[in-house]
Amino acid sequence: MDLEAYFLRTLRASGVTWGIGDDGVLLPRSKGVVVALDIFAQNVHFKSEWLGFERVGYKAMVVNISDMIAMNAKPTHALLGVSLPQRIDKKDIKDLVAGIARACTEFKIRIIGGDTIVGDSLHLSITMLGSARKPLSRKGARLGDYIAHTGTLGQSYKALQALLRGGKVSPKNKFITPRLSYARFIAQARKFLHAGLDISDGVLAECNRLSECNRLAFKLYKPYERAFKSGEEYEMLFCFAKRDYLALLRRARAHRVRLHLIGKVCRGRSRYRALVWHKS
């Protein structure tokens, strides 16, 4: 059973939710305020032997920043919740903070509050605050749209398999150090994009999500590509009108972003067999 999906269905059925479904939410009557929250948990998203504490801190921040950029929002502030393992030492804490600070400096974000406890393992819960003049939602796909993604996929899947076998992975691998190289491209291309999200659970899983909320099929030309199972890629997946392809391609080249056409929006629903990515 997909416990996460069941929990969200049950929560929605309770009648107390609003706006759940996107990477973040645009607050009503707020003049463009966007809020997003994500959790980065030991033994679910990473194992202690895979990442040093500095890289844990950096990646925890960046995966949340990716959610904001995916909505064409500029992150500005964050609330940080941390559960520290009982056996962590001062050096590890300094390294953890150094990674958090590196991400904040790179993306010009200030931490304005949060909560800290001591528990059994390391968990970081980050609420990101930002603003968007023209946010990009998961809804808005149109029949006949092209489907595309940025960057090259599959690197994170290969890295995860290597780590699970006890191997080593280069710190430059995006599974270790995500690179949000598409940020400026998305801002420049926003007027052409109908719907989109970042690839955190793999193209197959993201196509299923887009299909559900748009009530259309996100039909892939090559659905059995192994790279489409790869999660934690933190590239963008989006759809747009056929007539805007050349305009998007020019903007992608200007920002040195690779753009790949992978499918088309059709009638029906997508139900791809996606990999359960976050599993301890």
pLDDT of residue 22: 54
pLDDT of residue 20: 60
Give the residue ranges of the chain where pLDDT is below 70.
1, 18-23, 277-280
Question: 173-176: which pairs have CB atoms within 8 A and are 24 or more residues apart?
Answer: 174/232, 174/233, 174/234, 175/232, 176/50, 176/51, 176/55, 176/59
User: Using CA atoms, how far apart are residues 222 and 99, in angstroms rounded to an integer?
Assistant: 38
- From the list 184, 110, 100, 99, the residue with the least C-alpha distance to 150 is 184
- From the list 134, 150, 147, the residue with the least C-alpha distance to 241 is 147
Place of tokens 């504490």: 53
User: Using CA atoms, how far apart are residues 223 and 254, in angstroms rounded to an integer?
Assistant: 29
Residue 187 CB neighbour total at 10 angstroms:
18
pLDDT of residue 279: 46
* Exposure string over 24-40, b if 16+ CB within 10 A, otherwise e: bbbeeeeeebbbbebeb
Residues 155-184: pLDDT tens digits?
A: 999 998 898 888 888 888 999 999 898 989
Residues 113-151: pLDDT tens digits?
A: 999 999 989 999 999 999 998 999 999 999 999 999 999
